[in-house]
Structure 1
């Protein structure tokens, strides 16, 4: 029997601030509430680095910018999980070091220990953490669902192409309202 987990990825203050959408966090909260009500584990995935950012190469455009923004916002405040989706007791928080939720994290250990083989993906950005995690999870033979309206991207057309044309090749794509936690 398949065991699902809801992945809530990169919903950190510094990230959310870059993607203003007043309807996004309420939809995400609904997905989290539905998962909890269905007894499905909620895994919050955050990007994080050691003080001074020794994991960030000078060659890394994406994370170099994130480190600067987080430092400007106050390192701890910028990297914290957004207060509208604060983890509750029993939720799992995984820290990653790159775009994919698997990169530099212990996510694989958490999934195997919990017997989880079906990931329900949400997060910011569709073209970042969601895409990278989906591809790596598919290569690990995990079953995947993407909650399209619980993903967000700065480019609506990129989001549309990914959720309508790319993701369906490796995942079931649905909405928060249509998702049945199992």
Structure 2
């Protein structure tokens, strides 16, 4: 009756995204960023150090930083602990008691996305972030009619919020790589539904074209270019030297990373030259820069 442990899956790539029916263009003067249910309770159902969750948090952090720069209001939703039977109502039949008193600490937003003083945190009572909250009223006061959505879980609260936004003449922008779900299948299904019925599916990179944050897809492409094997897949755990990578090209890559403010030296790259390890090093550097 509660949420089961969630098996990690790869974040959907651009080639897997559905075609949108809409041609809406995000406008910082019209938008609100919604960070949906990013509480410890919900993320604890994923595996520790889940690459999916790390990627989602990183992208949400980027979106929040961009929103602050663009003076876009940022709204969080968070379910309370110890809900009464009347407050929780039918949710208990489907998901159990939710966040209990014994797990009160789990109601907090994850540390990497701690709300800033100027942000708004709404108490979340139902799937939709509009139900029993001030979200719609706040958006009217701010004269905003676009809602950028990221968080968990994609096929439940995030999707229902997007649908309700659409029904209130608010354009939802569903950020495919700033969401997580129970499975890749459900994640992709949700993107398909939103793109076809009630919103615009987009990506962090599309919303933030000027940012300089590196992605795993970028790393894979750069390694293939260095190895001159653009059309061949790379085993992420295989030693890249066996593919023909040499010291000169490792030094070249280290120099290129510095241009992106990623300071990983030749020795660190050469100790374990695999795609997975290089991505771990890059991701750690980028995450540390956010703190």
TM-score, structure 2 normalization: 0.56
Change (3 A) 1:92 1:58: closer
Query: Which fold has the larger relative contact order, with Cα–Cα distance below 8 Å and residues 6 or more apart in sequence?
Result: 1
Shift of 1:57: 2.2
2:61 matched residue in structure 1: 29
SS at match of 2:54: coil
Change (3 A) 1:158 1:71: same
Change (3 A) 1:124 1:157: same
2:89 matched residue in structure 1: 57
1:8 matched residue in structure 2: 35
**CA root-mean-square deviation:** 2.1
User: Number of residue pairs matched?
Assistant: 176
Higher helix proportion: 2
TM-score, structure 1 normalization: 0.87
Instruction: Give the Cα separation in 2 of the matches to 1:65 and 1:154.
Output: 19
SS at match of 1:111: helix
Shift of 1:64: 2.7
State the Cα deviation string for residues 20-78 of structure 1 (Å, max 9, x = none): 433221121111112112221111111226664540226633453423xx4342x2x11
Instruction: Give the Cα separation in 2 of the matches to 1:168 and 1:59.
Output: 27
Contact 2:75 2:119 (C-alpha < 8 Å) held by counterparts: yes
User: Is there any run of 5+ residues in structure 1 with no aligned partner, and where?
Assistant: none
2:12 matched residue in structure 1: none
Contact 2:163 2:199 (C-alpha < 8 Å) held by counterparts: no
Please point out which of 76, 101, 118 is paired with 1:71. 101
Instruction: Give the Cα separation in 1 of the matches to 2:158 and 2:83.
Output: 26
Greater Cα radius of gyration, structure 1 or 2:
2
Please point out which of 124, 144, 150 is paired with 2:152. 124
